[in-house]
Amino acid sequence: MQIYFIAPTGFGVGLTSTSLGLLRALEQGGLKIGFCKPIAQHHPGDTGPEQSSELITRTFAIEPPAPMPLEQTEKYLGDGQLDDLLEQIVQRFHQAAEGK
């Protein structure tokens, strides 16, 4: 299994577009693909599902794990529960990687 971690260098730099392109290239190369966005990034006025994960679902017909709400992430950090936060992130990753 190959794992790619794509990290942004700033806000609005095209992380979702880059992810879509990479997933499409891997899929066209015959690989089974998965996607995991560990922490949700909602924009002001958003009321539905997290946009990046929803776009991946509609484009590739895969079901990524639901990202952790930012509020929950902030609570883990504020309470000093870094180990629990990392456990939640790793759990989501393993869900996305299953069968890939």
Report DSSP letters for 40-87, one per residue.
Answer: --PPTT--SS-HHHHHHHHHH---PPPPBPHHHHHHHHHTT-HHHHHH
Neighbours of 85 (CB within 10 A): 20
d(CA 19, CA 55): 11
pLDDT tens across the length of the chain (100 residues): 888 999 888 888 888 899 999 999 999 999 999 999 999 877 777 777 888 888 999 999 899 999 999 999 999 999 999 999 999 999 999 999 999 8
d(CA 4, CA 41): 20
The whole model's pTM is what? 0.82
